[in-house]
Amino acid sequence: MFGLFRFDWTILIILPGLFISIWAQIKVSTTYNKYSKVFTKRGITGAEAARAILDANGLSYVKIERVRGHLTDHYDPRKNVIRLSDSVYGSTSTAAVGVAAHEAGHAVQYSQDYFPIKIRGAVIPVSRFGSMLSIPLFFIGLIFYYEGLMLLGIILYGAVAFFQLVTLPVEFNASSRALRALDGSGILAKDELSSAKKVLSAAAMTYVAALLTSLLTLLRLLVLAGSRGNRR
């Protein structure tokens, strides 16, 4: 049992994912800050852009609310509400308009029964459970030689990784819808559209990094389980 407290080399497996996640967070922060200072020629705010996209898609019933925080923007499908952060709601920057349009894209996805978002919605309860209990269960099983707990931990963490996987097409598609809507409606000019695209692309990298981290963590659990089995 004391051997468990020696250096665990398997931690090195997840380091690339952690480094990329940190880089992605820095990238999205610096990109947003840069283009939050580039304002739209038409002076349209994030909330106005989201409202225009919603109305154009027959979603006048979807509300837009302001919430505190920075980049805490999200769409709540249960209440049909887009919540835009202080830094997005009333801002006329290309960054804010891009983020707001992205959230409107999620609302459109739900209204059109976009298949990947339905899968993600079905997986959310299991992934939340897995994110809380998978690692503790696995390491309890590892320490006390309970293979059943180790397997359960791996399965639950697999649900977390699967959630991250199905999140990718959902987020990329929402950004694609946003950019098409901003371009087609003339809300943003061509040069402004490029700014919004850079912000959304940087944000997308955080989801790629999250998927990579979860896959590497899952690999680590499998390696630990395999090595424990070989020592018995």
Q: Is the dihedral of CA 152, 156, 159, 164 positive or negative?
A: negative
pLDDT, tens digit, 9 for 90 and up, residues 119-174: 999 999 999 999 999 999 999 999 888 999 999 999 999 999 999 999 999 999 99
Q: Mapping DSSP to helix (H, G, I), strand (E, B) and coil, where does residue 7 land?
A: coil
Query: Which pairing describes strands 81-85 and 63-67: parallel, antiparallel, or unpaired?
Result: parallel
Active site residue 171: no
pLDDT, tens digit, 9 for 90 and up, residues 24-41: 999 999 999 999 999 999
Contact between 98 and 53 (Cβ < 8 Å): no
User: What's residue 138's pLDDT?
Assistant: 96
pLDDT, tens digit, 9 for 90 and up, residues 199-227: 999 999 999 999 999 999 999 999 999 88
Distance of CA 38 to the CA centre of its chain: 25
Residue 22 has pLDDT above 90, yes or no: yes
User: What's residue 9's pLDDT?
Assistant: 87
From 103, 147, 171, 192, active-site residue: 103
pLDDT, tens digit, 9 for 90 and up, residues 89-126: 999 999 999 999 999 999 999 999 999 999 999 999 99
Output the pTM of the full model.
Answer: 0.90
Contact between 81 and 21 (Cβ < 8 Å): no
Residue 229 has pLDDT above 90, yes or no: no
